[in-house]
Structure 1
Amino acid sequence: MTDRRCFVCGLLALAAPGAWAQLAAPLGGAAPASPLGSGPGYHSPDSPIPPLQEREGVLSWKLLGSVKTRAERQRLRPIFPADVRALDRQIVKVQGFMMPLDASERQHHFLLSAVPTTCSFCIPAGPEGLVEVRAKTPVRYSVDPVVVEGRLSVLDNDPYGLFYRLTEAQPAR
């Protein structure tokens, strides 16, 4: 496998939606990791942003990250534990770091990550550490963690390789 590394930070880059499956398949389904670590809960000790703290009433990234994967036809197929599967279509709160998908100050569609972005060219986590958010009420962009509440979908076969989506979302505390 040829490494696709970020030309800015040098870490393994997962630049395109669905890239996890393309990169992981030759590794027998294991998600590739950067030399410094990655995935839900990994927080660079060099980051000026403090790591997320677990909060009562807010969905845990540790729980979302408990999904296993299996390589199947050049894709990663998620295998969700029963407690994660039970969250499908439930109203939940999720906290995380915003990855905006457009340049506006208020975001209607963005990714929420378990860890902060350290390079604007890299995705900071694998699919178990990201939630796609479609907001009913726009959420103001922030480099600090945000909390949103909405209906969670646990995704078995997302065309972009995502495992989780939050719809009807709105800012929460």
Structure 2
Amino acid sequence: MTLQAKRRVAAVLMMAVAAVTAGITAAGTPALAADKKAAAPATPAPGTAAAVQANIPKATLGWDKLADVKEVHSMDNGLLRVRAAFGPEVQALEGKPLTIAGFIIPLEQKEKSGHFLLSAMAPSCPFCPPPGPADLMEVRTSAPIAMTSEPITLTGTLHMVGDDDNGLYYRLADATLQPGS
């Protein structure tokens, strides 16, 4: 199964779980905790960019831009080494601002943190496959943010790391939490 297919399956499963546990909004998308507190937004006109955006699960925002990456396997002193080979569209994002949504995987046991991993998939979802290197991102924020199990949206500067010792392919620097997250 391709990486994009895995992401689609994970997104559909997240939507199904959210639909069962939280209900469905008028737009047909899963209701998030924040949606329950706010009034239901107006339904965008069919066929518009807003309608397409409304039907994308919040936690998949931005990850589609990073999907063009291949794993290159080699032996290094008798050890298997995995490196990333980024496609041209992904390489063009190096050093540019990126807005991305996902789930926090804490690296420290603190209420607020400025250093954590962001996952395309919910770490607590029993139906989702575990994230791979292309589904994780190391994040350093400009100010510590509160840890949460809800999806968040960040904007920061994207950097590609094709040969990281920890097996990560992406870093988001100087990230800020977007309103509504």
TM-score scaled by structure 2?
A: 0.63
Provide runs of 4+ in structure 1 moved above 6 Å: none
Change beyond 3 A, Cα 1:85–1:94: same
Going from structure 1 to structure 2, the CA distance change for 1:124 and 1:139 (only over 3 Å counts) comes to farther
Q: Which residue of 2 aligns with 1:19?
A: none
User: How many residues are treated as equivalent by the alignment?
Assistant: 136
Higher relative contact order (CA 8 A, sep 6+): 1
Of 112, 134, 141, which aligns to 2:140?
A: 134
What is aligned with 1:161?
167
Whether the 8 Å CA contact 1:130–1:164 is kept in 2: the answer is yes
SS of 2:113's equivalent? strand
TM-score under structure 1 length normalisation: 0.66
After superposition, residues 40-59 of structure 1 pair within 5 angstroms as: 40-43=7-10, 44=13, 47-48=17-18, 53=56
Distance 1:86 1:138, change over 3 A: same
Q: Does 1:96 align with 2:102?
A: yes
**What is the DSSP-based 3-state SS (H/G/I as helix, E as strand, rest coil) of the residue aligned with 2:172?**
strand
Three-state SS of the structure 1 residue aligned to 2:163 is coil
Alpha-carbon distance between aligned partners in 2 of 1:54 and 1:66, rounded to the nearest angstrom: 20
Structure 2 CA distance, aligned partners of 1:124 and 1:109?
21
- Tell me which residue corresponds to 1:84: 90
Runs of 5+ unmatched residues, structure 1 = 1-29
Q: Secondary structure at the match of 1:160?
A: coil
CA contact (8 A) 1:41 1:62 kept: no
Query: Hey, what's the Cα distance between the residues in 2 that align with 1:98 and 1:63?
Result: 19
Q: Which runs of 5+ in 2 are unaligned?
A: 22-29, 33-54
Give the structure with the larger helix fraction.
2
Shift of 1:103: 1.6
Cα distance, 1:54 vs structure 2: 5.7
Looking at structure 2, the residues matched to 167 and 71 of structure 1 have their Cα atoms a distance apart, in angstroms, of 27
Please, which of 68, 71, 81 is the counterpart of residue 70 of structure 2? 68
- In structure 2, the partner of 1:114 is 120
User: What is the aligned-residue identity percentage?
Assistant: 31
The structure having more radius of gyration, on CA atoms, is 2
Q: Distance in 2 between matches of 1:39 and 1:138?
A: 31
Sort the Cα spacing of 1:117 and 1:59 in 2 relative to 1 into closer, same or farther, 3 A: closer
